[in-house]
A and B are shown apart, each in its own frame.
Chain A
Amino acid sequence: MNNPFPLSRDGLLTAYRRMRTIREFEERLHVEFAKGDIAGFVHLYAGEEAAGVGIMMHLEDHDRIASTHRGHGHCIAKGVDVRAMMAEIYGKATGSCAGKGGSMHIADLSKGMMGANGILGAGAPLICGAGLAAQKLGHDGVGITFFGDGASNQGTVLESMNLAAIWNLPVIFVVENNGYAESTSVDYAVATDSYVDRAAGFGMPGITVDGTDFFAVYEAAGEVIRRAREGGGPSLLECKMIRFYGHFEGDAQTYRAPGEIEENRAHRDCLKIFTAKILEAGVVETGELARIESEVVDLIDDALESAKAAPLPSAAELTTDVYVSY
Chain B
Amino acid sequence: MARTLSMMAAINEALDQEMSRDPTVVVLGEDIVGGTGSPGEDDAWGGAMGVTKGLIHKHPGQLIDTPLSESAYIGAAIGAATCGLRPVAELMFIDFMGVCLDQIFNQAAKFRYMFGGKAETPVVIRATCGAGFRAAAQHSQMLTPIMTHIPGLKVVCPSNAYDTKGLLIQSIRDNDPVIFLEHKNLYDRETDVPEESYAIPFGEANIAREGRDVTIVTYGMMVPYSLEASETLKSEGIDVEVIDLRTLSPIDLDTVFESVEMTGRLVCVDEANPRCSIASDVAAAVAQDAFGSLKGPVAMVTAPHAPVPFSSALEDLYIPSPERIAEAVRRTMGERPS
Taking a contact as CB atoms under 8 Å apart, the answer to whether A119 and B311 are in contact is no
Taking a contact as CB atoms under 8 Å apart, the answer to whether A119 and B44 are in contact is no
Chain B interface: which of A78-86, A129-137, A224-232, A315-323?
Answer: A315-323
- CB-contact partner of B45 in A91, A255, A317, under 8 A: A255
Chain B interface: which of A18-26, A51-59, A181-189?
Answer: A181-189
Taking a contact as CB atoms under 8 Å apart, the answer to whether B98 and A119 are in contact is yes
Contact residues in A for B34 (Cβ distance below 8 Å) = 182-184, 255
Taking a contact as CB atoms under 8 Å apart, the answer to whether A183 and B44 are in contact is yes
* Distance of A64 Cα from B41 Cα, bound (Å): 40
Pairs of residues from A and B, 6 with the lowest C-beta to C-beta distance, nearest first: A188-B37, A185-B37, A102-B310, A118-B138, A91-B311, A39-B134
Least CB distance from A6 to B in Å reads 35
Taking a contact as CB atoms under 8 Å apart, the answer to whether B312 and A39 are in contact is yes
On chain B, the number of residues with a Cβ less than 8 Å from chain A's Cβ atoms is 45
* 0/1 string, A301-326, CB within 8 A of B gives 1: 00000000000110101110110111
Contact residues in A for B36 (Cβ distance below 8 Å) = 183-185, 188-189
Least CB distance from B261 to A in Å reads 29
Within 8 A of A (CB), among B40-65: 40-41, 44-45, 48, 65
* Distance of A192 Cα from B136 Cα, bound (Å): 34
Taking a contact as CB atoms under 8 Å apart, the answer to whether A313 and B313 are in contact is yes
Contact residues in B for A253 (Cβ distance below 8 Å) = 40
Contact residues in B for A121 (Cβ distance below 8 Å) = 68, 99
* Distance of A317 Cα from B313 Cα, bound (Å): 10
Contact residues in B for A257 (Cβ distance below 8 Å) = 39-40
Taking a contact as CB atoms under 8 Å apart, the answer to whether B306 and A319 are in contact is yes
Least CB distance from B43 to A in Å reads 9
Contact residues in A for B138 (Cβ distance below 8 Å) = 104-105, 117-119
Taking a contact as CB atoms under 8 Å apart, the answer to whether A254 and B311 are in contact is no
- CB-contact partner of A41 in B98, B99, B139, under 8 A: B139
Q: Which of B30, B48, B306 has the most CB of A within 10 A?
A: B306
* Distance of A120 Cα from B31 Cα, bound (Å): 15
Taking a contact as CB atoms under 8 Å apart, the answer to whether B95 and A119 are in contact is yes
* Distance of A150 Cα from B134 Cα, bound (Å): 24
Chain B interface: which of A153-161, A270-278, A285-293?
Answer: A153-161
Offer 7 A-B interface pairs, CB within 8 angstroms, sorted by A.
Answer: A102-B136, A182-B30, A184-B30, A255-B38, A317-B309, A322-B306, A326-B305
Asked if B211 is at the interface (CB within 8 A of a chain A CB), the reply is: no
Q: In the complex, which residue of chain B has the Cβ closest to the Cβ of A151?
A: B68
Instruction: List residues of B whose CB falls within 8 A of some A CB.
Output: 30-31, 34-41, 44-45, 48, 65, 67-72, 95-96, 98-99, 133-139, 274-275, 304-307, 309-314, 317-318
Contact residues in A for B275 (Cβ distance below 8 Å) = 326
- CB-contact partner of B40 in A88, A187, A255, A324, under 8 A: A255
- CB-contact partner of A101 in B31, B136, B305, under 8 A: B136
Least CB distance from A245 to B in Å reads 15
Taking a contact as CB atoms under 8 Å apart, the answer to whether B35 and A155 are in contact is no
Taking a contact as CB atoms under 8 Å apart, the answer to whether B136 and A118 are in contact is yes
Given contacts A153-B69, A184-B34, A184-B36, contact A312 B313 (CB under 8 A): yes
Given contacts A100-B311, A254-B40, A255-B41, contact A154 B68 (CB under 8 A): yes
Q: In the complex, which residue of chain A has the Cβ closest to the Cβ of B313?
A: A312
Taking a contact as CB atoms under 8 Å apart, the answer to whether A153 and B68 are in contact is yes
Least CB distance from B321 to A in Å reads 13
* Distance of A116 Cα from B36 Cα, bound (Å): 27
* Distance of A151 Cα from B133 Cα, bound (Å): 23
Q: In the complex, which residue of chain A has the Cβ closest to the Cβ of B34?
A: A183
Q: In the complex, which residue of chain A has the Cβ closest to the Cβ of B41?
A: A254
Given contacts A188-B37, A255-B44, contact A183 B314 (CB under 8 A): no
Contact residues in B for A181 (Cβ distance below 8 Å) = 30-31, 67-68
Contact residues in A for B96 (Cβ distance below 8 Å) = 119
Q: In the complex, which residue of chain B has the Cβ closest to the Cβ of A182?
A: B31
* Distance of A313 Cα from B274 Cα, bound (Å): 23
Asked if A10 is at the interface (CB within 8 A of a chain B CB), the reply is: no
- CB-contact partner of B31 in A102, A183, A186, A256, under 8 A: A183
* 0/1 string, A259-288, CB within 8 A of B gives 1: 010000000000000000000000000000
Taking a contact as CB atoms under 8 Å apart, the answer to whether A183 and B137 are in contact is no
19 extra A-B contacts, CB within 8 A, seeds A153-B68, A313-B309: A99-B310, A100-B309, A101-B310, A105-B310, A119-B99, A155-B72, A180-B38, A182-B30, A182-B34, A183-B34, A185-B37, A254-B40, A257-B40, A312-B312, A313-B314, A315-B314, A317-B314, A324-B305, A326-B274
